[in-house]
Amino acid sequence: MNKKISVGLALFFAIVTAAATFALTMSFAKNMFNDMIAGLSERKVINETVDEIGQLIREHYYGKIDETTLNEHIASGYVEGLDDNGSVYMTAEEYAQYQLRLAGKLPGIGITAAYDSAAQALRVTGVLPGSPALNAGLAQGDLITAIDGKKVNEKNAGQLFGELEGRKLTSVDVTYTRGDKRNTVQVTRGYSAGTVTYQMLDGATGYIKILAFYENTAKQLKEAVEDLEKQGAATLVIDVRSAESGSIDSAVAALDVFVPAATGGIPAAKAVDAGGKDIATFVTDSDETALPIALLVNGNTAGGAELFAADLRDFGKAYLIGVDTAGSGKLQQTFELRDGGAVRLSVGLIITYSGGSFDSTGLRPDTVAASSQDPALTPVGEDEQVQAAIEYFSRGS
């Protein structure tokens, strides 16, 4: 039997429903307003503090204020407050160099080097083919004691090494010793950064060192593998120890030299935001390398190098040897600023082919093999971890 309600009762229900809706809407709006006010309040406190410090400096500081430097440090400090190594502020000049470096086009003199504490100098660990350094007479093992007249020490070694990079066709004075002889040469910056070096070891093992993952790395890596195969390499030792620089895109491009296309609709890697939503995916094609690989890692293997190592293992292409990696597993995105500078921020978590993450934890090698030597200062043939890789192959991998 159908039941009817009176007009008065229907009106009553309508009023109650409207009141409830209004109350819920007001409650939601109030919460949103309170959240917004809290954010505005916090920002107001920060701004007032900065203004107060600025006023105190201008009233009481004994010294000349460089406004440009002051503003750069304020911007840098804001980003450093995130306490995230992957997030940085860059001035316009730093950003321009950063772009050139990622493209593999930052002019340098074509050497690799590491600080030798015993000699208190930069020891040249490699001189790249066709480089200005090679043409100027520099050789592996030379000790660089001064750059542009500035004596190298433990504190400034990194900064001075950076001065070997810069504007193309500008020159830099390099003072070095070889045995008991001392020499100073003028070297022209003009060599686009090489990121891959390689050589044949005893037997049929090829050795490849990847210094960083830039846009030119995959091409250089492919050429290295092809050349080593022509020389008779049946196994490969790939060294990504202390490889910290570069981008995830370039690391996946390098990975693509060795692994086939991912199957089952699973990307080679992806990045997710704080809510777990995919914000980037990375894929590989069908080409691959069949040679067995032993991959060397250490505590300074970070970011793109870690993804490269993790995915090579996930695809069943490599056996990891060394010690736990750095655990830098976030994706960074760069945002340009109006003044030509930029801010690079960590925007997502990198997920490997197997669905895992190495952020904070790092990668645990298949064989843990610590070294008592500094790999950068040790000849490849005497490197303990390289020897561990060769022993792995001798066991039939």
Read off the pLDDT of residues 194-228 as tens digits, 9 standing for 90 and up. 789 899 998 899 999 999 999 999 999 999 999 99
321 in Cβ contact with 301 (< 8 Å): no
Nearest to 383 by CA among 129, 202, 115, 218: 202
**Partner residues linked to 171 by β-bridges:** 188
152 in Cβ contact with 120 (< 8 Å): yes
The residue whose two tokens read 């007249």 is 149
User: Tens of pLDDT along 118-168?
Assistant: 999 999 988 887 789 999 999 989 999 999 999 999 999 999 998 888 777
Q: How much is the average pLDDT of 8-28?
A: 44
Q: How many CB atoms lie within 10 A of CB 187?
A: 24
Alpha carbon distances (Å) from 49 to 38, 44, 54: 17, 8, 8
Please tell me the distance from the alpha carbon of residue 244 to that of residue 295, in angstroms, as a whole number: 15
The token pair that represents 389 in the structure block = 């890789």
Q: How much is the average pLDDT of 51-72?
A: 91
State what percent of residues in the chain have pLDDT above 90: 66
pTM of the model as a whole: 0.81
* pLDDT band per the 50, 70, 90 thresholds, residue 193: low
Q: What is the pLDDT of residue 33?
A: 44
Alpha carbon distances (Å) from 258 to 121, 248, 293, 350, 360: 37, 16, 10, 20, 26
